[in-house]
A = this chain, B = another copy of it.
Amino acid sequence: MITGQDEFFMRKALDEARKAFSEDEVPVGAVIVRNGEIVASAHNTRENDKNSLHHAEIKAIDEACKNLGGWRLVGCTVYVTLEPCPMCAGAIINSRVERVVYGASDKKAGSFGTMLDLTDYPLYKPEIEGGVLAEECSAILSEFFRAKR
C-alpha cells in the first residue's frame, strides 16, 4: 500500500536525482528511512567517482550501515527513483531491507519485477512497491538522455 509518506520520501529521492543531474550523472537518487527518519541519502556518481559500484542505492546502503552500526537494515525502507538493477536489488536483499519503494520501472535492468524479479527466488524477500511518482522519476531521466543526444 502506498502512503502519503511514500510520496514525501520519494520527493527526497528526487532531490538526490537532481543533484546527480547537475553533476552530469544519470539522474537516480535514493533515501533510506527508518521510523519516519532519513538515515541515508545518496545519488548516482559512477562517472565522477570512476566506480561501477557507485549507484544511488549502493551508496545509500553503505551510509545506512555506517549510520546504524550494523549490516542488517531491519525496519528500513529504501526509496529510489528508478527500479534497482541486479546489483542494487541484490544489495537490498543482502541488507534485509524491509521495504522498497521505487518510482520508474527499468525495462533494461529492473530486478524487482520488470527485467526479472529477485523476489521469485528463495532469498530474503523485501516488500516491493513500484510506480510512486513514476512520471516525475521517469521525466528527469528522459530529460537527461535527451540533453545527451
User: Interface segment, A15-23, A29-37, A83-91?
Assistant: A83-91
Given contacts A58-B53, A65-B51, contact A71 B93 (CB under 8 A): no
**A14 is an interface residue with CB less than 8 A from chain B:** no
User: Interface segment, A1-9, A111-119, A129-137, A139-147?
Assistant: A111-119
Per DSSP, chain A at the interface is loop
A121's contact among B53, B54, B69, B116, by CB below 8 Å, is which? B116
Given contacts A109-B123, A122-B115, contact A90 B86 (CB under 8 A): yes
CA distance A122 to B87 in the complex (A): 15
Among residues 50 to 88 in chain A, which have CB atoms less than 8 Å away from a CB atom of chain B? 50-55, 58, 61-62, 65-66, 69-73, 85-88
